[in-house]
Structure 1
Amino acid sequence: MADRSAPPSLALVQDLANTLDIESGQDALAAPGGLAAFLRDHGLPPAPAGKRALSAVQRLREALRAACLAHTGTDLAEETERELEALLTAAPLTLTVDARGEAALCPAPGLTGVAALTARIAAGIATAAADGTWPRLKACEAHDCQWVFYDRSPAGRSRWCTMAVCGSRAKMRTYRARKAEG
Structure 2
Amino acid sequence: MSDRSAAPGSLALVEALVNTLDIESGADALDTVDGRAPFGLTPDEVPAARELRESLRATLLAHAGHPPHAPVTPLDDLLASAPLRVKVDPEDGSATLAPADAGPLRSRVAAAVAESLVNGTWTRLKACESGTCHWAYYDRSPAGRGRWCSMQVCGARAKMRRYRAK
Considering the TM-score relative to the shorter chain, is it more than 0.5?
A: yes
In structure 2, the residue matched to 1:43 is none
In structure 1, the residue matched to 2:135 is 147
RMSD, aligned α-carbons: 2.2
Q: Confirm or deny: 8 A CA contact 2:20 2:29 kept in the other structure.
A: yes
Per-residue CA deviations over 1:31-78 (Å, capped at 9, x if unaligned) read 3x25642324xxxxx54x43xx2110001011111111111112458x
Deviation at residue 130 of structure 1 after TM alignment: 1.4
In structure 1, the residue matched to 2:61 is 69
Identical columns (%): 52
Deviation at residue 28 of structure 1 after TM alignment: 0.5
Question: How many angstroms apart in 2 are the aligned matches of 1:36 and 1:170?
Answer: 32
Deviation at residue 172 of structure 1 after TM alignment: 1.5
Q: Confirm or deny: 8 A CA contact 1:20 1:27 kept in the other structure.
A: yes
Question: How many angstroms apart in 1 are the aligned matches of 2:3 and 2:24?
Answer: 22
Deviation at residue 83 of structure 1 after TM alignment: 3.0
Aligned partner of 2:124 among 118, 132, 136: 136
Secondary structure in structure 2 of the residue aligned to 1:175: helix
Q: Confirm or deny: 8 A CA contact 2:4 2:150 kept in the other structure.
A: no
Residue 158 (structure 1) aligned with residue 146 (structure 2)? yes
- Unaligned regions of 5+ residues in structure 1, if any? 41-45
Q: Confirm or deny: 8 A CA contact 2:10 2:115 kept in the other structure.
A: yes
Deviation at residue 87 of structure 1 after TM alignment: 1.4
AA matched with 2:37: A
Secondary structure in structure 1 of the residue aligned to 2:31: coil
Question: How many angstroms apart in 1 are the aligned matches of 2:18 and 2:60?
Answer: 9
In structure 2, the residue matched to 1:87 is 78
Give 1:41-56 correspondences, 5 Å limit.
46-47=41-42, 49-50=43-44, 53-56=45-48
